[in-house]
Structure 1
C-alpha cells in the first residue's frame, strides 16, 4: 500500500474510471512513467488498425497479454451530412499525433477507430464488401440497449497516464502528450457521447472487487486477470489476426468489431458454487473430474484443453447435467480454428462488476455464430440443462448493450466513405 492508503494499481483503475484532466494530473503527481515515444514514419506501423498482436506483451506460456488499462469513447460526428475532406484531415492529423507521441505497444499506446452502421447511413450506402448489420439481441433471454454512435475509439496501454492523456488531447484539453505536440484534435469534428473504461491483468480484479455483483468476502484471487477467477484469452482459443481480417473489397485489411457491455452477477458463483462447479461451468465437467485446472489456469499453457472434453456436447450434458462455457465455444470453429479474436476486459463503471466484451472478426456473422454456440439452446432443448442454469456461465451475466463497428485499414480510418477506394 502507498502512504496515501491506496495501492498504485487500485489508484490507476480509479483514475482511468474517473477520467478528465484532474484524474490525469493526480495520476502524474504520483510519478510520470517512462513511456516510449512513437514514430514519424507511418509506414513502420501495421496497415491494419487491429494489428496489435506483434506489439503485445506475452505471458510465460507465450499467450499475448492485453494492455492493462482501457478507455472506450463512443463518438458522434458533429457535421451536417457527409464528412468533409477538412474534417478527415483533422481526424487523421490527431491520430498521427498520438502515433508520434507513443510507441505502438502495450508500453506505449494502442488504439482503433471504428464506425457503426448508423455512421454509414448518412451516405445512403452500406460499407462496400463488409458485413456490418445493425446490432440486435442475440438470444431469447436478452434485451440489450443497442448502441448507435457514429464511431468507437478504443485506447489501450499498460500506463494509465497514457490512455488518460491521449483522451484529453483528442478532446482538445492538452496541447502535448508524452512531450510531443498535438498537430490536431477531434474538437469540432467528433464529440464524446459515452465513455467506458476497464482493466485486465493479475491483481487488478482482486483489488477492485468491492463493487456490486461480487460478494463481500473478497473472493477474486489475487493472481486472476478477470473477475470470474480464471485465465482467459489462450492463444489456442483465439482466431489469428489474419483470420479476422477482411480480405476483399475496399476495406480489405480491416475487420469488424463487436462490443457488448455485460453485467456480472457473481454472488452464487463464489458463495454457493464449489470450485469443481466453477471449473465445470467455465471449462467442462471432465476438467473438474480430472483436476485439470490448477489455480486460475496458468498450468493450461496456450490452450484451455478442450481436446480432453467430450465432443458430443449434448450427450455429455445429458450425462453430467451441466455444460462448460469453453466446451460449447469449441463447436464454433472453422477448419478447427476459432473465428473471433477477443480483446475484452473487466470494468467497474457505475460501481458494478461488468465486462466490456470486445471481439474482432472478418464478418459480424462469425460473431453471431459464436454467440449461438455459447447460448447452448440445443443443449437446453435436448437435456436437463436449463437455458441459462448450468449452461456454461450464462446465468451469471446480463447483456446490457450491444454495438457493431467496422475497423477500416489504417489508410481509411478517418471518416471513411462507404467505398473509399
Structure 2
C-alpha cells in the first residue's frame, strides 16, 4: 500500500501649495473615522453578548461540567438577505465608481470605504467575500457534486465587470480588507521598483496555491489565512491575530501591503483594469506638468513621463528584450519541473493523504483512542485499501495541478522580466492601470479644474 500511495509521488482641492494634513486627510475626518470604528466595535460586542443570552432553545443542563462552544463560522443567511448583500455590493461599487471617476472626490471614496468596513467587515463578519469566492468558483469546475451559490458567483463576477469598465473601484471603496488597511496609512514610504516587482509575484503564487487546493477539495486557504477575519469576527487563532496586527502595523508605512503583495484576487483585477476604458485620471483635462502629484500615491502606482535617457535606453534594450523573450519557455519548463517535484509535499495538506501516510508509517495509532482523526476514520467503516486508493487519486491530481501551477508561475516570472525592458512612451503623469486602486488621492493634488 505504501508503494501504491507513493507511485505518483484630503483636504479640499490643492491649488499649487501643500496644505496641512493629518495622516493624509482632514483632522475631523480622522476623529469621525475612529469614532465610527469604535462605535462599530462596541455595537458588535453588545450584539454578541445579547445574542449569547437570547437563544432560540435553552441550553441543555449537563452535570458533567460541559460548556456549550460558540461557533466560529457565521451561520448561513436567509436567501433574501443574501440577495440584499448583492444589492449592497452593487450600490457600493456604483458609488465608488461615481466618487472616483465622476465627482473625483477623495473624501467620498474615504467615507464609502468606512461604510464598507462597517457593513461588509464588522457587520457581515467578512463573509461573503469576493476574494474568497475564487475558491468557490474553482471548486465548481472541478467537483460536479458542488454547486456554487448565486451570491458567491455574483460576488466574484461583479467586481471584475466593474473593473473591466472603470478600473479597480472595488479596491477603492468596496473591499473591507482594503478599507481597513487604507485607514491606517500614516507615513507611507516608496519602495524601489525592483522590490515592488519582486513582491508583486507573491499574489500569483498565492492564487496558484489557492486554486490548486480548492480544485483538489483540500482546503480554502484564502479564507483560512485571511489576516483580518479575526478582527471582523473578534475571534481567531493567536497566529492569525499576530499576522493581522503585523500587516496593519506594516500598513502604516507600506500602504496596503496585503492588497499589493498578497491578495490573490488582485491578479484578475489587475488584468481587467489594464483594459478599462473609463479609468481614473490624475488631471480632469490637460496635464500642465506641475509635478504636484509625483508623491501623492502611497502605492507607487503613478507612471512618469518618459525622458530622453529612457528613449536612448529603449534602443539599446532590443537585444535584452529578445533574450528575455526567448528564455520564457525555459522559465515555464523550470516551473513545471519544480511543481512536479513539490506535489508530494503539497498534497500532505489533504486530509486523506495525510491520514493514509500516517497509518502506513504508524499502524499502531489504530489502537490510540486519543487520536481523533484515526478514530473518526475507523468509525466511518472505510477500509485501509479504500483510503489508500483515494489518497493515490488525490496525489495524482496534485501531480498534474502542481505542474500547471509551476508552469504558470514560470510564465509570470518570464513576462515580469520581459516588462522590465519594454519601452512605453508617455507624455503626462498617468496612473498605472493595473496597479492603481482608484483611491482618488492623486486628484486632490492636481490644480487643474474641469
Alignment TM-score, normalising by the size of structure 2? 0.21
Higher relative contact order (CA 8 A, sep 6+): 2
Structure with more helix by fraction: 2
Q: Flag the structure with higher strand content.
A: 1
Q: Which has the larger radius of gyration?
A: 2
